[in-house]
Chains A and B, each alone.
Chain A
């Protein structure tokens, strides 16, 4: 391999010629036909949602607000639910459930945390959408009033 150490006349060493190394590498890549694998990191973890039948939904700010309030209550998944016994050996059963819960915590909590992150993002987006829905309703009302006025004027003429 060709020497890359360049020395000045006074014996001091110069910087490594990175650009020249890169040119050599680019030439080698081209010569040997190396190709970059087309797998994008940003494409990992895309899930395909089921198609929702939205054809029969009507726009309503009132309905939207109700759903939004419900979403706000539901959005946080709780990993610390109260444990109940289903059998006569009540306290013992709860004890073992608690032990099991503690053992599984390392696996479950990161998943739940991720789900809560997603839910929070969604809830915030839905709030933004509510503002848009309200605005659309206002504009629809205004449009209806204007159409009525136009009709009245046309009738009068």
Chain B
């Protein structure tokens, strides 16, 4: 019996890719025969972990774990593969967010959501990164059991040395507001910019906004954001683009507040990163944000840039409030600790193997 993970693309450094690698290492450590198969494999993935799905032949005894996160022909092919089928649902961005920005991505997301419906009676067990994701599967009447299983995250990586130049650049005494995530329309960086502009204008002119994330393939949206910054008149807004892991750590090291206005997230790993670096979080309540925060951070139920700016200022200046937020965040972070999530994952997969066996 092999436990094989299957996905369209095994990227290096993104949440889905990291989850797959963490699962691989965990299963390997428990003595299972395991490998990852994908159509596209990032060259930085260490050898031996992943293989081209082109040559894969599966048998009835194999357990196939499919990472569902986008549109792909592989979605339909997976349904036809021999073996016991599990899905890990990371969520697929609703296509409407890409409308007007990227027709190919819009189509990809639409196709992905059709495939998600198609797979409703093709999988034997489903894990979802969040309660939000699980609800989507249940709404689609998935025949199998659907359980919540957070992304496996290794916080050891975050103990690496941050890039010294970045730490120095952002350690100049200014108040640093940060948001980490791809420049993408569903993440609503424009609302982060808008709130920041009003915070800078009315509360703290000596502040900086750092938007950490690649804008590759989203150049239109990126240019629109840059124009927006200019038209608003916000100062010191930094778009880092794609940065190394060490530079990303450097950005977190200097941050005073994490501001998230995203309208669609399947889990939102950057929230955990902010918790890890003890950065208070202010976030708009949407999709899986509330689940990941789990009662920590400050959740806003509407987007009003003036009010958001006021909350930002309160959190930064009110030490008692900030400490209270950080205390709850530290407690919530423990729920995603490596030992706990690995134990949970093994319980779920071994439970599945027992039932199916």
Contact = CB atoms under 8 A, between A and B. Distances in A.
Residue of B220, B233, B325 contacting most chain A CB atoms (<10 Å): B220
A5 B320 contact: yes
Interface stretch (A37-45, A74-82, A92-100, A138-146): A37-45
Interface stretch (B6-14, B194-202, B243-251, B346-354): B194-202
A36 B306 CA distance: 6
Interface stretch (A15-23, A54-62, A127-135): A15-23
A136 to B, nearest CB: 28
Interface in A76-120: 110-111, 113-114, 117, 120
A15, A29, A44 pick with most chain B CB within 10 angstroms:
A44
A154 B321 CA distance: 88
A28 B310 contact: yes
Interface in B297-319: 298-300, 304-307, 310-311, 314, 317-319
Contact of B220 (A22, A24, A39, A117): A117
Contacts of A35: 306
Nearest to B191: A41
Contact of B321 (A1, A15, A26): A1
B222 to A, nearest CB: 9
Interface string B123-139: 00000000000000000
Contacts of B307: 22, 25-26, 29
A1 B318 contact: yes
B310 A41 contact: no
B228 A39 contact: yes
B102 A117 contact: yes
A121 B100 CA distance: 9
- Dominant secondary structure of chain B at its interface with chain A: helix
A103 to B, nearest CB: 18
Contact of A34 (B198, B233, B318, B327): B198
B33 interface: no
Nearest to A116: B103
A66 B90 CA distance: 46
A34 to B, nearest CB: 5
A37 B199 CA distance: 12
B219 A110 contact: yes
A44 B311 contact: no
Contacts of A114: 219-220
B320 A41 contact: no
Contact of A44 (B201, B202, B231): B231
Contacts of A41: 190, 194, 224, 228
A113 B219 contact: yes
A153 B328 CA distance: 87
Contacts of B319: 1
B324 A5 contact: yes
Given A21-B321, A25-B311, 13 more contacts: A1-B319, A4-B320, A25-B314, A34-B306, A36-B198, A36-B304, A37-B233, A41-B194, A44-B231, A45-B224, A45-B227, A113-B219, A117-B103
14 contacts: A1-B321, A4-B324, A15-B295, A21-B311, A21-B321, A25-B307, A25-B311, A26-B310, A29-B307, A41-B224, A41-B228, A44-B227, A114-B219, A114-B220
Interface of B: 102-103, 190, 194, 197-198, 201-202, 219-220, 223-224, 227-228, 231-233, 295, 298-300, 304-307, 310-311, 314, 317-321, 324-325, 327-328
Interface of A: 1, 3-5, 13, 15-16, 18, 21-22, 24-26, 28-29, 32, 34-37, 39, 41, 44-45, 110-111, 113-114, 117, 120-121
User: Lowest 8 A-B CB distances belong to which pairs?
Assistant: A25-B310, A110-B219, A41-B190, A1-B318, A44-B227, A4-B321, A39-B231, A44-B224
